Amino acid sequence: MTDPEILSLMDSSPQQGHRALFEEYYSYVYSIAVNILRGYGSAEDVEECVVDTFASVINNLNGEALKPFIGTVTRNKALNMRRALAGHLGRKISIDSDEFIELPSSERLEQNIEDSERTALVLQRIKELGEPDSIIIIQKFYYERNAKEIGRLIGMKPAAVRMRCTRAMKKLRSLLGDLD
């Protein structure tokens, strides 16, 4: 469903419009949220962030281009939550940590390109594993889903998911052997 269709549906039938918006952007929002909250919050925290984001988007949407608007809301929600969680956990982010390094713009650009190339390579290698291994690896290590959740998603028993995951990880390690 396109953004104009979603917006139109939100006008004519708000609940259906909300659902359409949610379905279209759920994975996008979850993906950004889990990426920012990784290492700070639980799966429940990520879900809370997702719910907060959609509620906020629905209440504040004003005809903007949906994707950038939703992306920005998600990012800000997740960063706020991460700060709160870090404080709650008593964690302080060192000025030496990656998160606080202020690189000169040229170095930052270079670093971003390097990270992006590295990510592209990793994703390519994961894709080469074929299905369902590629799906399992992404769901497990990116979305941090457990074997039961992944099993429901791809129609496999949790035990089988664990088994395939271990095997796929081993293969992936071989494929990424030259990557630090």
Which residue lies nearer to another protein by CB, 107 or 115?
Answer: 115
What residue type is 22 in one-letter code? F
Q: Are 145 and 153 in contact (CB under 8 A)?
A: yes
Which residue lies nearer to another protein by CB, 104 or 155?
Answer: 155
Name the H helices within the chain.
3-12, 14-37, 43-60, 66-88, 105-128, 133-137, 147-154, 158-175
Q: Are 73 and 80 in contact (CB under 8 A)?
A: no
CB of 4 to another protein, least distance (A): 15
Which residue lies nearer to another protein by CB, 30 or 86?
Answer: 30
Which residue lies nearer to another protein by CB, 82 or 172?
Answer: 172
What single-letter DSSP state applies at residue 157? -
Query: Which residues, in sequence order, are CB contacts of 3 under 8 Å at separation 6+?
Result: 65, 66, 67
CB of 90 to another protein, least distance (A): 21
Q: Are 178 and 122 in contact (CB under 8 A)?
A: no
The separation between the first and the last C-alpha atoms of the chain, rounded to the nearest angstrom, is 40
Place of tokens 């000169």: 104
